[in-house]
Structure 1
Amino acid sequence: MKKTVLAFSRVNPQMAERLAQDFNVIIPDPKQGDIAAQFNEALPEVHGLIGAGRKLGREQLADAKNLQVVSSISVGYDNYDVDYLTERGILLTNTPDVLTESTADLGFALIMSSARRVAELDAYTKAGHWTRSIEPPHFGTDVHGKTLGIVGMGNIGAAVARRGRLGFNMPILYSGNSRKAALEQELGAQFRTLDQLLAEADFVCLVVPLSDKTHHLIGRRELALMKKSAILVNISRGPVVDEPALIEALQNGTLRGAGLDVYEKEPLAESPLFQLSNAVTLPHIGSATTETRQAMADLACQNLRSALLGERPQNLVNPQAWKA
């Protein structure tokens, strides 16, 4: 008898068709009524969940008596209660690596856009304000040769650092839980404490996972340590930054600018950030390319299939659950 899989976010037709080869697939349909109600109604019979963007823990999964695996179409897994899943022996998988380069591309796009005021001056031009040569009040700042600080030198952080060092001759500083000897040799990267990095870097790029330790890692004190000419880029998770403190810093000139792809609350329909010309705001699109999203979907399907067929998934977040 086929096991049952429930999608807890939108999946493309190809993904649904692929899953249906091995499993009974349930995909809530907004045309059929409340999505949450359909999800909750299906939970007791499902063996696997696949999707992204939904908080899943003790309260949400109490009725999922047959659940064996949650396959997340994402790298980050802060939406999931990992301890609870492990306690129940439910496997949690994610999709790392396949989005590294695309997310790093976006991180560097935010660096460039913030420094050269691309979004601001695009709006300026389209509004018909370009009636004479641009003058100093609209000048940007150079990127090449400036110091790039990476907070969290994992795969994505290293990919951003390579773009900066090899493409723009930027000295690289980094902070994190451990030294990266290979990257120090490859890129001449120099390790700093977080406070030291904030004080020295011209661009600070946040690439850390969200945890209790990194929640509001960058707050009012940390922003005050940065150069007034510095730019903060966040491609990690919104709550890594104290958003009201950042807004205040951008408003009062404590910070030159910010490039943001993530926010404390998502989706974000309105915010003081939208009124700030020195903030570039994107709708969490770090992995949002056709190629990368397809690769993530393929990997999530592979992880789910392996788990439900009794094989150890390639990308297992909680190996303790597998051992149990």
Structure 2
Amino acid sequence: MSTPAPDPIPAPARPVVVLRPAPQRTDRIFTPAALGSLRDRFTVVDLEKDPSEEALEEVLPDAFAIVGQPDLPAQRLSRAGRLRALLNVEGNFFPNVDYATCFERGIHVLGCGPAYAPAVAEYALALALDLARGISREDRAFRAGRERYVSDGNADAVLLQGSDVGLVGFGNLGRGLNRLLAPFRPTIRVYDPWLPPGVLGEHGVLPASLDETLSRSRFVFVLATVTDESRHLIGERELHLLPDGARLVLVSRAPVVDYPALLSHVARGRLMAGIDVWPDEPVAPDDPARSLDGLVLSAHRAGGIPAAFETIGDMVLDDLTLIAQGLPPARMQTAARELVGRYRNRPVT
């Protein structure tokens, strides 16, 4: 006589959402109202105070969604039989997940990049205006008693209005910045090898090669993500293509630019640059960048503002609600099967 099969383990009454958001904090990305709604709709297991691997292993079999991006190799994913969504709330897709397994199993892999895009785009525009008019430089001079009045302080000033502008990359950041630049009526050239000319044309920008984008632009915004192909995409050869007096704004990923080469051009007075991301953070106290007047320096703060963080929590709540109803997510960025494994991002600390 055969032994009857055991009854299947019943699923929890409400889908289980695991919170392990580090380096984010739950109270930073969720307003009290949003967190309350999340707890009303789901069984929330908060691992923020105990982010250990053991605690995660214990809840994996019941997890419907994980908010965060812990290490998820194929073996660990095999123990997460009910997992339907992985929601990255840091801002980068890391190579610590077996994405192929996620896609094979229909697990939604989502990122919060769209939440940061408006803040970063505004900041990039602010850096460009500063570089155009020497705002922070002349502020420092004024405080030191070296101010120059009227036209004396404007010998290298230029207009953003009507300028030739180049965008290197046209993802969330590029599209957000393109909208902000519209009132300045620039000519915008875009280099993005992941997009066909038709897509760029629909946004009113000119598709261009990297060389053309650099050589014909007074302002260049570096907005590309980092992959093996884009590491040092802007190197010595490319920097030489920029016209004398060009302004370069870097707000995406540090490895895209050869920093020693860029600082050399700035030190010689050929280029100016606004930099928000650095190869090593925090920047060393004796880093030569600190002493260059042709730089506007920023400590990786373009996107991390309260409005962006709270948007992340709202996105998570909305998309989890949709997925639980059998609908596709609508607010967070869906990882592309063909691209997510190519990113070489580092965590932001």
What's the TM-score bracket when you normalise by the shorter of the two chains?
0.7 to 0.9
d(CA) in 2 for partners of 1:248, 1:78: 32
Unaligned runs of 5+ in 2: 1-11, 339-349
The equivalent residue for 2:268 is: 252
Per-residue deviation, 1:57 = 5.5
Equivalent residue number for residue 39 of structure 2: 20
Stretch moving more, 226-235 or 243-252: 243-252
**Counterpart residue type for residue 156 of structure 1:** L
Q: 1:6 to 1:144 in 2, by over 3 A?
A: same
Alignment correspondent of 1:298: 314
Matched, 1:79 2:115: no
Query: CA distance change for structure 1 residues 16 and 126 in 2, over 3 Å: closer, same or farther?
Result: farther
| Secondary structure in structure 2 of the residue aligned to 1:288 | coil
Output the aligned Cα RMSD: 3.3
TM-score (norm. length: structure 2): 0.73
Q: Secondary structure at the match of 1:223?
A: helix
Deviation at 1:73, TM superposition (A): 2.3
Alignment of 1:85-124 (within 5 A): 85-87=99-101, 89=105, 90-124=107-141
What's the secondary structure of 1:239's corresponding residue? helix
Shift of 1:259: 1.4
How many residue pairs end up in the alignment? 305
Query: Shift in Å at residue 195 of structure 1?
Result: 0.9
Equivalent residue number for residue 233 of structure 2: 217
Residue 5 of structure 1 pairs with residue 18 of structure 2: yes
Letter in 2 for 1:115: A
- Conserved? CA contact 1:148–1:161, under 8 Å: no
Q: Residues 183-232 of structure 1: CA distance to partner in whole angstroms, max 9, x if unpaired?
A: 54764x32221011111111111222222222221112211221221111
Give the counterpart of 2:207 among 191, 196, 205: 191
**Greater shift in the superposed pair: 143-152 or 127-136:** 127-136
2:218 maps to a residue whose letter is D
Structure 1 pair 218–293 and aligned structure 2 pair: CA distance change class (3 A): same
Matched position secondary structure for 1:71: strand
User: Which of the numbers 309, 317, 324 marks the counterpart of 2:335?
Assistant: 317
Partner residue of 1:156 out of 150, 173, 176: 173
Secondary structure of the residue aligned to 2:26 is coil
State whether residues 118 and 173 of structure 2, in contact with CA within 8 Å, keep that contact through their aligned partners in structure 1.
yes
For residue 167 of structure 1, give the secondary structure of its aligned residue in structure 2: helix
Secondary structure of the residue aligned to 1:244 is helix
Match of residue 38, structure 1, among 37, 51, 73: 51
Cα distance, 1:281–1:11 mapped onto 2, change above 3 Å: farther
User: Is residue 198–residue 225 contact of structure 1 (8 Å, CA) maintained in 2?
Assistant: yes
**Does the Cα contact within 8 Å between 1:6 and 1:42 map onto a contact in 2?**
no
| CA spacing shift, 1:38–1:152, aligned 2, 3 Å | closer
Displacement after TM superposition at 1:267 (Å): 4.8
Q: Distance in 1 between matches of 2:169 and 2:55?
A: 39
Q: What is the CA–CA distance in structure 2 between the aligned matches of 1:265 and 1:97, rounded to whole Å?
A: 25
1:131 to partner: Cα distance: 7.5
Query: Amino acid of the residue matched to residue 79 of structure 1?
Result: F
Secondary structure of the equivalent of 2:51?
helix
CA distance in 2, matches of 1:307, 1:10: 23
Task: Confirm or deny: 8 A CA contact 1:86 1:318 kept in the other structure.
Answer: no
Which of structures 1 and 2 has the bigger CA Rg?
2
The residue type equivalent to 1:117 in the other structure is: G
Alignment match, 2:288: 272
Q: Matched residues in 1 for 2:25 and 2:132: separation?
A: 35
TM-score (norm 1): 0.78
The yes-or-no answer on 1:282 pairing with 2:298 is yes
Change (3 A) 1:237 1:5: same
Rounded Cα–Cα distance in structure 1 between residues aligned with 2:206 and 2:316: 35
Deviates more, 1:39-48 or 1:293-302: 39-48
Aligned to 2:276: 261
**Residue identity (%):** 24
Shift of 1:152: 1.8
**Structure 1 residue identity aligned to 2:335:** V
